[in-house]
């Protein structure tokens, strides 16, 4: 596998991981004692959003997923043929 492919797959996994870890650790004003919602802010907006922490968690999760993906790529545990849940397409059976 080329290093550019590894980088592209890691980037995709990082974005997926960022969306997965985004809601963890956030607190709304209802959950924090004494916090007043300012005018113009949504009531559900988090009061302790830390994008750096989200990026770090996403990077760690993406690294773990990338290692699993690469080890599967090397060993061939799950290949494309294993993901064919619907059988052979009709045209392929007829020789087209």
In angstroms, the CA 66 to CA 58 distance is 12
Q: Tell the residue number behind the tokens 């492919």, with chain if given.
A: 5
- Tell me what pLDDT residue 93 has: 58
Segments in the chain below pLDDT 50: none
Residue 76 zone, left/alpha/beta (φ > 0; ψ -120 to 50; rest) = left
pLDDT of residue 54: 96
The residue segments making up the domain with residue 49 are 3-93
Which pLDDT belongs to residue 50?
Answer: 92
* Number of domains composing the chain: 1
Per-residue pLDDT of 12-33, as tens digits, reads 999 999 999 999 988 888 887 8
């Amino acid at each position: 596998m080329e290093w550019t492919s590894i980088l592209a797959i890691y980037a995709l996994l990082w974005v997926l991981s960022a969306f997965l870890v985004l809601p963890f650790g956030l607190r709304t004003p209802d959950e924090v004692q004494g916090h007043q919602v300012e005018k113009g802010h949504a009531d559900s907006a988090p009061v302790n959003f830390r994008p750096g922490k989200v990026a770090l968690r996403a990077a760690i999760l993406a690294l773990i997923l990338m290692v699993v993906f690469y080890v599967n790529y090397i060993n061939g545990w799950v290949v494309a043929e294993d993901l064919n849940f619907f059988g052979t397409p009709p045209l392929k059976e007829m020789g087209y």
